[in-house]
Homo-oligomer: A and B are copies of this chain.
């Protein structure tokens, strides 16, 4: 292993197109999970991809809790159901009606759930790159989530990110210590069908923004053209 930078592998158009197709066709999956189990070797590749995420000061603050047992998933599903009722009440009229008809999780249907956490003390108090941006360790963990999500899609496995629960209740259910933050609760399973656009857009919840409106040149709110 060289101690100086080495000539890199140059990716070609085919590599690049594979990545762009994976990114383009990645969806947040709630209902399309197939019961087929995920082989251990495939799961290992997906977790390796997550573990290769960038992390501030090489902190690698993540852990992966694998949840496969029906009983465990049932307990989590109850936490979701309770929180989802609360969330639904935040909307009014037609929006509440629409919300209550959305399926927002696949906890029981997905053969595997993964809770990804962040240990904010993993490398001690002082971490290179986190002195001024305290959230960098949380963000590193999210990079691992996104690596995992894309790796799963490349394995023809769908992922759904569930964020509707009380963190303290989830910590109790999974025996997670108070000093550890939950970043993501993910549902994973093979898929053979997916929506072609984000499900929330298909179902009339919201529309995607035009990228052009979101790009500035040189400083905030300054357009190129």
Residues of A participating in the B interface, judged by any CB pair closer than 8 Å: 1-11, 14-16, 18-26, 28, 31-32, 45, 47-49, 51-54, 56-58, 60, 62-69, 72, 83, 86-87, 90-91, 99, 102, 104, 117, 123, 126, 128-133, 135-136, 138-139, 142-143, 145-147, 149-151, 153-156, 161, 163-167, 174-177, 180, 183-184, 191-198, 200-202, 205-209, 211, 214-222, 224
Contact = CB atoms under 8 A, between A and B. Distances in A.
B214 A64 contact: yes
Most chain B CB within a 10 A radius of its CB, from A60, A151, A184, A216: A216
A216 B65 contact: yes
A165 to B, nearest CB: 6
* Copy count, this protein chain: 2
Contacts of A65: 216-220
A99 B128 contact: yes
Contacts of A67: 218
Contacts of A32: 5
A58 B208 contact: yes
Contact of A202 (B3, B7, B215): B3
Contact of A133 (B21, B26, B99, B163): B163
A142 B132 contact: no
A11 B57 CA distance: 34
A20 B75 CA distance: 34
